[in-house]
Structure 1
Amino acid sequence: MSEPRINGLRSVELGVHDLQKSAEFYRNVWALEDVSGEGDTLHLRGTSRDHHVLTLRERPRAGLLGVHFSAPDRAAIDGLHGKAKAMGMKLSGPAGELEKSAGGGYGFRVSTPEGHPIVISADVADHGSAIDDKTRPTKLTHVVLNSADIENQTKFFLDVLGFKWADSTMMMDFVRCCSDHHSIALARGKGPSLNHMAYEMPDIDGLMRGAGRVRKSGYEIMWGVGRHGPGSNVFSYFVEPNGFVTEYTTEVEQVDDSYVAHDADWWKAQNVFPCRWQMAGAPSEFARKAMGGDLVEEENLRCEQVMARALGR
């Protein structure tokens, strides 16, 4: 009997300071579409049939609340839950029915060894049809997580969740759960935070048109346009209102079990950093600061100071 494993990246869940301000960015600038929401929460979809690719929840502090993955069925969910429990992982409780406004389904929450929140689900509702618009994101392609302990983080995804190693560089480990070269990358950093999230565009023309819309709305490209080494994907990075880094990407390399993964020394010898095209320079200090999660923390601190002043503290 094969081991239960995850088979796809579903969505990302963020805590944001101002739900309305964040929603306006993701609707009007990033070009996602409302699906459902109530109270302090909003779910937004891309153009694929996936129920949603992003959840926003208004919170006192902005931060990563969850990276959501799909599993083939309820049996796989139970198998993964049992495996995580047996291996001593921190679970929020037993597998069970999930939030109906988020598409329902069956699943559970688990934390990585460093504390990144992970949600695994099956039987989530989808939309009856896709949307034909190449200037808008189709799906969430990958999420990059900052880590001060990449070795144990990578082992969690490989050994507990059934991911496969794709590649490693001096900066990141790349792991995959589907045909995309990577669904998760672990970046060397100070500790657990969100480095960036990447949304897939249908093609390069769609990426450029989408990036043009974002720039026209007052958000300059932070890094790119260029083409990465591992994954060979075209990239363009922006910073959204909460300080999170969000990426439009396309042409992510498609791989199967015949793909040969390479280590950091091999990738260093290829001389493809920071861009295969040699067009996008290395990330600026501002870009590195944003990807390190420092902009989110600065905004959190600023909001705390504003609240303290308002309360006369």
Structure 2
Amino acid sequence: MSRHIDAHADLHSDQGPLRGEHPGRAVNPIVKVRDLAWLEFAKPDLDRAELFAHAFGFTTALRTRDEVQLRGTDPGAPCVIIRKGPRSRFLGAAFLAADATDVLRLAEATGRRVDRLPDSLGGTAVALTDPSGVSICVVSGVQRLPELPAQTPLTVNAGHALERTNATQRPPREPARVQRLGHVVLQSTRCLETLNWYLQHLGMIVSDFQYYPGQRERGPVMSFIRCDRGDTPADHHTVALTLGPSNRYVHSAYQVCDLDALAAGGEYLRERGYHRSWGIGRHILGSQIFDYWRDPDGFLVEHFSDGDMFDAALEPGWAPMSASGLAQWGPPITKDFLGIAPGRESVRELHAMISSLREDNEFDVQRLRGLLKVASS
């Protein structure tokens, strides 16, 4: 693609790159993945996990004694695979190759072998590990689940456009039916190294960079990266990488049809005693309407709707990171969402900060000061 659109032209960020800053893409990537295929988790109680999943809006595609596959209404692979394990943890992510030969090319370039996936999924995969230790596989030829009946966006009288007459709006109080997996956010102590790995190995490109206030010269501390589909638009971010004192899963996001489905689905979850972490609001970077929830094991998951879609022409934007800059509108950001509410998560992160500062990584004392400044903003 030869055309390029400047990031600072009031499209998605008020700043473009400065001379010599990260270009946001690899010159000659090994392959270019098409999409995020699924995420994998381990959980000790599959019944409890499946109960929450149904309230959140997933449909069970497969259930065995040791595994649950959860899907959305869109055709394709399952969104989430949960395997029975002694403790709840994030296992990794699968990406969909643009072509079967890409799996072979990636395997050859990395010295890995190509394996067949289980019959329940079909297809082949090459298993990799990113610099943060996250298990990544690139898959091809997986079985395509058929489309399911989906929620239909409401017909809305917006402004003076009269689309609905002699009819009322009564969205049912029911789960917001998940359409598809949108993105995953990961924290890394080696954020720049990990970013470059995704750009080089998977051919992803940056939509937006964020830096700690006053530390732009040290480079980005958060990168929102999307799939490079050429002229075909892709989600503003399929993966977001943020610098922090530990390597961990932050959250994953799942698309629903519109604001009413998201809001009514949130009421359904609230009435059943599940914990809303933050929402409802609209993000700045990515523009999504969002609503964040904790599953019974404390994992953060998001309903979203109306996200930005960019083709490969758009250059990355640059912006300072701040807690108040996460939303255009909505309730104040919560300590729970930031991971600083009193509890096991904040204690683990505090211990990680102490350990990380003793190790050779990108999270040093100056970065810690920047992170604390963001959290207090």
d(CA) in 1 for partners of 2:347, 2:69:
24
Residue 319 of structure 2 corresponds to 264
Residue 34 of structure 1 corresponds to 60
Greater relative contact order: 1 or 2 (C-alpha under 8 angstroms, separation 6 or more)? 2
CA displacement 1:155-185 (0-9 Å, x = unmatched): 1110111101111123521111151000000
The number of residues matched between the two structures is 283
d(CA) in 1 for partners of 2:116, 2:334:
42
Give the gaps of 5 or more residues in structure 1. 86-92, 299-313
Quick one: structure 1 residues 290 and 11, their matched pair in 2 at CA, closer, same or farther if it must change by over 3 Å? farther
> Which of 254, 257, 271 lines up with 2:309 in the alignment?
254
The residue type equivalent to 1:152 in the other structure is: E
Larger Cα-atom Rg = 2
The residue type equivalent to 1:114 in the other structure is: S
CA displacement 1:80-126 (0-9 Å, x = unmatched): 222333xxxxxxx511210112x211112111111011121011111
Residue 79 of structure 2 corresponds to 53
CA-CA distance at 1:264 after TM superposition? 2.9
2:179–2:257 Cα contact (<8 Å) kept: yes
CA displacement 1:171-222 (0-9 Å, x = unmatched): 5211111510000001222221110010011111221122121112112321
After TM superposition, list the pairs within 5 Å mapping 1:20-31 onto structure 2: 20-27=47-54, 29-31=55-57
Give the stretch that moved more between structures: 137-146 or 70-79. 70-79
Residue 121 of structure 1 corresponds to 139
SS in 2 for 1:198: strand
d(CA) in 2 for partners of 1:94, 1:217:
46
- The normalised TM-score by structure 1 is 0.84
d(CA) in 2 for partners of 1:2, 1:194:
25
CA-CA distance at 1:296 after TM superposition? 10
SS in 2 for 1:207: helix
CA-CA distance at 1:235 after TM superposition? 0.9
Residue 331 of structure 2 corresponds to 280
Residue 100 of structure 1 corresponds to 119
Residue 160 of structure 2 corresponds to none
- The normalised TM-score by structure 2 is 0.70
SS in 1 for 2:293: strand
SS in 1 for 2:264: helix
SS in 2 for 1:22: helix
SS in 1 for 2:235: coil
SS in 1 for 2:325: coil
CA displacement 1:29-80 (0-9 Å, x = unmatched): 1121111133311111111112310111111121111211101222011112
**Aligned residues: percent identity?**
27
Quick one: structure 1 residues 157 and 130, their matched pair in 2 at CA, closer, same or farther if it must change by over 3 Å? same
More helix by share: 1
